[in-house]
Amino acid sequence: MMVKHLSLKTVFFAAIAVTSLTGLLMVAFCASDPTVRKENDEHEFRIAALEKKIENLQSGAKHEFVEVRKLNYKDRKRILVTGGAGFVGSHLVDRLMVDGHEVIVVDNYFTGRKKNVGHWIGHENFELIHHDIVNPLFIEVDQVYHLASPASPPHYMYNPVKTIKTNTVGTINMLGLAKRTRATLLLASTSEVYGDPEVHPQAETYWGHVNPIGPRACYDEGKRVAETLCYSYAKQENVAVRVARIFNTYGTRMHMNDGRVVSNFILQALQNEPMTIYGDGQQTRSFQYVSDLVDGLILLMNSNYSQPVNLGNPEEHTIREFAEMIRDVVGGKNSIVNKKAVMDDPKRRKPDISLANKVLGWKPRVSLADGLRKTVAYFKKELELRTGDPVKAFDLSQVL
């Protein structure tokens, strides 16, 4: 039998024909599958959005930014915000940008999201650097807001060694940068340095009651060491430091399933799921809205006070009361269920903010009711934008 040798060109076009036929058959099959059709619609929507962005870029369309103040060179500062794409960090960035400063955000996106600061990308005063502060950073700045660290139990316990490194090695790197550039560094510390307190409310003079080998220790002790490092650099190297001990904070841009009380309760209430309380629900917390915290951080940074300062809302509620408040804001009728208490969960937490009021003139202004309404509206919008399976509240019993 004689076999004719086909030209490379003939083989090429034959392959294209077979591929095209296969593609048509796949499209026909997919068109009959509702799930695949839905996925295709989502892909087409995203492609259309990308095409629109490309078209805007090609046409030279300019992004519209929020109006910012015009500062002269004496008043304008170059400010570094580590963890600036996170929940608190992104709100701080917004305020600093609107105030007219040049802002550099450094984030490794472990818990932060680029979309939180995406509205500033392209602005002449803004710079975003994808970087992990466990590695040294060499830039020139006037101030450093050191916020980088996972802050919710599921996140900081996901990789406890990395959490410790971020709060120790990362803090050393930022203090070294502040030393070299003669910048002022503000450390975002935490009320967790007080542990499960035996003193109530907690003032800055209280040394704390912390389990050094418990599941929360990677964060609690990491922040305690970070504070020690700050004051060691201040004493030995004359670095100007500020330390904010931040109590429970909530608001827009919170991570949907970060395992915190607020996000868990709101997610469960909006999705008509039972609201989960760990323990009997009589443990207390105090919650401040994120804009109040940002006010306090900026006031502290620009003050002459260098000792630790509590920033929190002294309005104290039990966890059960808080669940009921969120359910009322949502307007649901969710049941409230109790699960086994988690290890080392503080029984009471309330800040004494008399020092912040005295040295900074600061106190929270946003009421719990107003803050919850804003936060619930944000979560509701986020859920509407999502497709697929519902977002589940994080089960703390998995990690604690």
Distance CA 87, CA 249 (A): 10
362-373 residue pLDDT tens? 999 999 999 999
Say which residue, 33 or 125, is predicted with more confidence. Answer: 125
pTM across the whole model = 0.81
Distance CA 134, CA 172 (A): 9
Say which residue, 228 or 348, is predicted with more confidence. Answer: 228
Average pLDDT for 220-234: 97
328-356 residue pLDDT tens? 999 988 899 988 887 777 888 899 999 99
Q: What is the pLDDT of residue 14?
A: 55
Phi and psi, residue 141, nearest 5°: -145, 165
Residue 398 has pLDDT above 50, yes or no: no
Is residue 224 a contact partner of residue 208, using CB atoms and an 8 Å limit? Answer: yes
Range of weakest confidence among 47-51, 81-85, 101-105, 141-145? 47-51
Residue 72 has pLDDT above 50, yes or no: yes
Distance CA 88, CA 253 (A): 8
* Percentage above 70 pLDDT, the chain: 83
269-324 residue pLDDT tens? 999 999 999 888 898 989 999 999 999 999 999 999 999 999 999 999 999 999 99
Q: How confident is the model at residue 394 (pLDDT cuts 50, 70, 90)?
A: very low
DSSP 129-152: EE--TTS------SEEEE--S--S
Q: What is the pLDDT of residue 22?
A: 57
Beta pairing class for 309-311 and 241-246: parallel
Average pLDDT for 13-18: 55
Size of the chain in residues? 400
For the annotated catalytic residues, the residue numbers are: 219
Task: Report all structural domains of the chain as residue ranges with CATH numbers, in order of start.
Answer: 78-398 (3.40.50.720)
Q: What is the pLDDT of residue 399?
A: 44
Phi and psi, residue 142, nearest 5°: -105, -30
Q: Which residues contact 347 (CB under 8 A, 6 or more apart)?
A: 196, 283, 284
